[in-house]
Amino acid sequence: MRSRPHARFLALFLSAVVASGLFVAGGGGAHARARVPSPPASVDGGAWKSGHLQGTAIDRSTGHMYFSFTDLLVKTDLAGRPVGSVTGFTGHLGDLDVDPRDGRVYGSLEYKAAQAFYIAVFDGSRITRMNMDARTAGVVSTVHLREVVRDYTADMDGDGVFDGDTAGTADHRYGCSGIDGIAFGPDLEGRGGSRLTVAYGVYANTARTDNDHQVLLQYDVRDWARYERPLGEGASHTSGPRSPDGKFFVYTGNTRYGVQNLEYDGYSGNWLMAVYRGGKAAFPNYSLYVVDGSKPARRGVVRGQPRPETGRIVSLLPRGLHHGPSGVYGYESGGQYGLVSLDDGRFYVAEAGTVDSGGTTLQTGRAVLRRWTGATPDPFAEAGASTASGAGR
Ligand SMILES: [Ca+2]
Ligand SMILES: [Ca+2]
């Protein structure tokens, strides 16, 4: 049974009065919402033979955290106890978010060699045991994103050859390497309603001028049931919306693989984009950018394109570090491996690492509770160590 939004809000509220560190199990009660614990200081995502941590998401209604480890999804409770996992991805599973309306988990899923890009949709409530097979357990469906394929495969130099998965080329429109950052939040044109926002990966390339924007696609997923197909054998279907409901550009300068983690902060109304810093000398190459949610997108020039082009432009919040020559604002921060807003001035910022286990390297992930201060260069402080001000307030 899925919680109504009101019930979810109530659960969050009630969680605030439950003593920190109290992890009472459901105890057989059908309605566990009053037992959702306060956000603990950290949530351990475990150590796994997998790729590195790519993203995190929280279901505040049920008190679960999800960790994406490239080819593995791990579900834990907020004490860090693993309660389920999904394995067997042959593509690249990236950033995650939970749809607050129904608790389903959305993740970006890339099959670059097959030139196919999907949103993976997990039924989180059915992830109840370890090592569930993504292809056969019936807990994952996928929706194909045609718009990403179009930009990824664009033969930009017109030589009749698509150069494939490489940064050293003029191909790939906007430098698109696929998708990674993903988050639910409001329509960027200010038209109301919730949208799934998907950020492009962007190849690092300092020799071209058309790759200096982050590209955000927005989708209204309320009618996506008709597109969803089982994961099956991977990149085997093209069922999905013909085009996004909105396409937006943020001028940051080139980065290495675009927005690693995207998160909407309901407290400030802004969007956070954590990136691997770029290398262009004309830009400051910060590691965190904040999109100003108070300014609806406006039509403007998409700079640096081979042919003059306009699009829907969204603005960076004019706070934090500022680079005069480019006009770019930002921060220096973590968040590239996971970034979750609790919508009250606090965030979980993920830390990734490795441990050796009998000669095998295991990948670790941990979500650490932090508080937004807006200070520079790093706007996050230890939770409780400083006064919350909301991202960008
Ligand atoms: Ca080409
Ligand atoms: Ca996210």
How far apart, in whole angstroms, are the C-alpha atoms of residue 379 and residue 341? 14
How far apart, in whole angstroms, are the C-alpha atoms of residue 103 and residue 105? 6
> Mapping DSSP to helix (H, G, I), strand (E, B) and coil, where does residue 150 land?
helix
Question: Do the beta carbons of residue 75 and residue 66 sit within 8 Å?
Answer: yes
- Cα 372 to middle of ligand 2, angstroms: 17
Residue 357 CB neighbour total at 10 angstroms: 11
Read off the pLDDT of each residue in 3-24 and give the average, rounded to a whole number.
Answer: 40
- Cα 294 to middle of ligand 1, angstroms: 39
Question: Do the beta carbons of residue 142 and residue 93 sit within 8 Å?
Answer: no
Residues less than 5 Å from ion ligand 1, measured at CB: 155, 157, 159, 161, 171
Residue 238, C-beta contacts closer than 8 angstroms, at least 6 positions apart = 116, 144, 146
- Cα 93 to middle of ligand 2, angstroms: 12
- Cα 184 to middle of ligand 2, angstroms: 8
Phi-psi region of 16 (alpha: psi -120 to 50; beta: other; left: phi over 0): alpha
> Mapping DSSP to helix (H, G, I), strand (E, B) and coil, where does residue 56 land?
strand
How far apart, in whole angstroms, are the C-alpha atoms of residue 354 and residue 114? 30
User: How high is the pLDDT of residue 234?
Assistant: 73
Reported as a pLDDT band with limits 50, 70 and 90, residue 391 is low
- Cα 170 to middle of ligand 1, angstroms: 7
How far apart, in whole angstroms, are the C-alpha atoms of residue 345 and residue 46? 26
Residue 18, C-beta contacts closer than 8 angstroms, at least 6 positions apart = 34, 35, 36, 37, 38
Read off the pLDDT of each residue in 339-356 and give the average, rounded to a whole number.
Answer: 96
* Tokens coding 48: 């796994």
**Quick one: which H or E segment has residue 10?**
helix 5-15
Q: From the CA of 98, which ligand is nearest?
A: 2
- Cα 28 to middle of ligand 1, angstroms: 59
Read off the pLDDT of each residue in 143-153 and give the average, rounded to a whole number.
Answer: 98
For the cut 70, the answer to whether the pLDDT of residue 387 exceeds it is: no
> Mapping DSSP to helix (H, G, I), strand (E, B) and coil, where does residue 164 land?
coil
> What residue type is 10 in one-letter code?
L
User: How high is the pLDDT of residue 384?
Assistant: 64
Q: From the CA of 55, which ligand is nearest?
A: 2
> What residue type is 239 in one-letter code?
S
**pTM given for the model:** 0.88
* Tokens coding 70: 């490239």
**Hey, what domains does the chain have and what are their CATH numbers?**
1-38 (no CATH), 43-382 (2.115.10)
Task: Report the mean per-residue pLDDT for the chain.
Answer: 89
Residue 67 burial by CB count (10 A; 0-12/13-18/19+): exposed, middle or buried? buried
- Cα 26 to middle of ligand 1, angstroms: 57
Q: What radius of gyration do the chain's Cα atoms show?
A: 20
* Tokens coding 183: 């988050």
For the cut 80, the answer to whether the pLDDT of residue 352 exceeds it is: yes
For the cut 60, the answer to whether the pLDDT of residue 275 exceeds it is: yes
Digit-coded pLDDT (tens) for 210-261: 999 999 999 999 999 999 999 877 778 999 999 999 999 999 999 999 999 9
